[in-house]
Structure 1
Amino acid sequence: MTSSNHDITKDLFTLADLGDTAADKIAGESVSAWKDALRRFVTNKGAFISMIIIALIVFFAIVGPHFFGYDIDNQDVSRANLPPKISGLEWIPAFSGHENGVDVYKEKNVKTAYWFGTDQLGRDLWTRTWHGTQISLIIALIATLADVLIGVVYGGISGYFGGMTDNVMQRIIEIIAGIPNLVWIILLILIMQPGLLAITVAILATSWLSMARIVRGEMLKLKNQEFVLASRTLGASDRRIIFRHLIPNSIGMIIINTMFSVPSAIFFEAFLSFIGLGIRSPQSSLGSLINDGYQMLQIHPYQTLYPGIIISLLLICFNIMGDGLRDAFDPKLRR
């Protein structure tokens, strides 16, 4: 039984002096889906740090090749196989200019310090490494454009219209996907010279397939929703429904898949260059630099070290950032 001392009476309350408008006002901050995703992404330390590292690599890829004024094919055999040296940091063994206890710069009477050293032809590895990073980033950009401009449009049309259109378009995807990427590049090399153009065509031919399938699945899920029916009732065209309603509602999945396709494209280019089917000397890419350094690995391991570190950072950081974007856009996957 409730004691009389604890009875709830009208005297215990004070009426708030609020009008009808103030009573219905939402006190909390209104947060859009994009702003909420950005908040979750920024609080993901691994993804945010990865984004900063990628931004730094992009900066050095733009500025680095012009830092010392060397060209990528500037050769001088008198300075061949010089180890890394940074003036002022000679106390660090990795940047001392010494190799096997010998001051190679003094032995060859070289006054200029090469931060990443030189290769067997005397070319500056700092310049060649960051120029090779440019190639990898260009490949990443091409893969992104292929996903967005080809994969999204193709998958959106296939999933939205369905029926015979969907069947024909999906059979085309299956035929293209049935040919391995390596076969594609070999066929292209028979037609054109090995290089960036051949790799670009190979990526444009195949990299958008997974994006097309994902967007098609999203279209099949969304096209029967009420907001699509309302838009169609109001007289919206199929093009407007696809590009103004369905694809914007799939943008989170599109961004996530794009971020995961970028490291695959970078590795694809590096692999082709490593086996001699991609970028060839005197041009440089991270894959070709690793291949050149691999031939001198036991004698001069630094020639493989820096291109290997950069390509590893690119692959790891893009994957971690992709995980962060996935967690940010899908609340069910938040940690």
Structure 2
Amino acid sequence: MATVNQEVSKELFAPADIDHSSSERIAGESVSAWRDSLRRYVKSVPAMVSTIIIALTIVLSIVGPHFFGYGIDDQNINLQNMPPKIPGLTWIPAFDGKYQGVDVYAQKHIKKAYWFGTDALGRDIWTRTWSGTRISLIIALVATLVDIFIGVTYGSISGYIGGKTDTIMQRIIEIIAGIPSLVWIILLILIMQPGLFAITVAITATSWIGMARLIRGEMMKLKNQEFVLASRTLGAKNSRIIFRHLIPNSLGMIIINTMFSIPTAIFFEAFLSFIGLGIRRPQASLGSMINEGFRVLMIYPYQILFPGVIISLLLICFNLMGDGLRDAFDPKLRR
């Protein structure tokens, strides 16, 4: 086997053109923490489906009560206990307008179609259901705003200042939390006229306590960080440090806890209305409608079906949204 001898010389080599800055170049797209959290939230299928359902529910709670032009307390004894009927969906047994195999609409010569049926007083369940949903969402919104403004502010001041101030503020919370919520409701109903305002005040009277305790712990953890020390060294006031530095750094936790407090407020309002301590007639509430439908459950089950399904969807979807936000904002859960 022949070998080839070749003299090695410098002409056989050429200098490599190497850009040393290329190793420091960011290859991927630079995104902020909020944009990255939003991107991971969008990838969560349960959270996105829940968001769509909640958005549709909000829209229907606004336009639904005006869809057919009925009032929430418009009564017609001749149309009492009409079964649900939706034109175009009559092939589905639940929406064919029949009760025990009899077409009630043809029997009574009724041309109108009640999509959710009517109750014992001939009131349109569709109108009352979406009106009750709107009340539940309003109460949940108010409870959320109270959580944000009172709970966050109270917990931030208590945790950041500490010392005797923190001790006094925490003893006040313990006194308020020591009284059961049902007792608060009964006392407020005795003092105030029962209705939307009374139940809203009763729910918001104690709903902010959990948020305040959570934010207090977060403030105690963050107030000794370097960025707080630097801000204090530069002469920043306590109010500026709390509202410009500490609260924004806790915003992810605030959003997550807020999303979990919404279904709690909705369920509490429905429970109080169900036992007769909440929304009173002629106003409609999901809880009061479930109470009315429960009385005729064995005869007309559809009267409890629709408000029960809607309140169940709201509770499930808000909890799934909270899970999605927790996964999106928690850095420990990032893949």
TM bin (shorter chain):
over 0.9
Change (3 A) 1:52 1:106: same
Equivalent-residue separation in structure 1 for 2:179 and 2:159 (angstroms) = 23
Matches within 5 A, 1:263-282: 263-282=263-282
Q: Check 1:77–1:25 CA distance in 2 against 1; reply closer, same or farther (3 A cut).
A: same
- Quote the residue 1:89 is aligned against: 89
Q: Which amino acid in structure 2 is aligned with residue 139 of structure 1?
A: I
Q: Aligned with 2:299: secondary structure?
A: coil
Q: CA offsets per residue over residues 203-248 of structure 1, 9 Å max, x none? A: 2210000000000001000001000010111111111000000000
| 2:201 paired residue number | 201
Secondary structure, in 3 states, of the residue corresponding to 1:321? helix
Partner of 1:29: 29
**Paired residues for 1:10-159 under 5 Å:** 14-16=16-18, 18=19, 24-159=24-159
| Residue identity matched to 1:254 | I
The equivalences for 1:220-259 within 5 A come to 220-259=220-259
Displacement of 1:108 = 1.9
DSSP 3-state at the match of 2:113 = coil
Letter in 1 for 2:16: T
* Counterparts of 2:266 and 2:15, CA distance in 1: 67
Q: Which residue of 1 aligns with 2:322?
A: 322
Structure 2 gap ranges (5+): 1-11
2:5 match: none
Equivalent residue for 2:7?
Answer: none
| Whole-angstrom CA distance in 1 between matches of 2:51 and 2:209 | 26
Quote how far apart the aligned CAs of 1:179 are: 0.6
What is the deviation of 1:25?
3.7
**Which one-letter code corresponds to 1:257 in the other structure?**
N
Change (3 A) 1:13 1:59: farther
4+ residue runs over 6 A deviation: none
Matches of 2:45 and 2:230, distance apart in 1 = 41
Query: Which runs of 5 or more residues in structure 1 are unaligned?
Result: 1-9
Name the CA distance, whole Å, in 2 between partners of 1:187 and 1:129. 29
User: 2:309 and 2:43 mapped to 1: Cα distance?
Assistant: 26
Residue 28 of structure 1 deviates from its aligned partner by 2.4
Superposed CA offset, 1:100-135 (max 9, x none): 011111222211000000000000110000000001
The structure with the larger Rg is 2
Superposed, 1:281-300 pairs within 5 Å as 281-300=281-300
Counterpart-to-counterpart distance in 1, 2:118 and 2:102: 16
Question: Normalization by structure 2: what TM-score?
Answer: 0.94
- Give how far 1:11 is off: 5.6
Report the TM-score, using the length of structure 1 for normalisation.
0.94
- How many angstroms apart in 2 are the aligned matches of 1:56 and 1:73? 24
Instruction: Look up the SS of the partner of 1:29 in the other structure.
Output: coil
The amino acid of 1:65's aligned partner reads P
* 1:257-299 per-position Cα deviation (integer Å, ceiling 9, x unaligned): 0000000000000000000000112110100110111111111
13 and 132 in structure 1: CA distance in 2 versus 1, 3 angstrom threshold: farther
Q: Percent of aligned positions with the same letter in both sequences?
A: 73
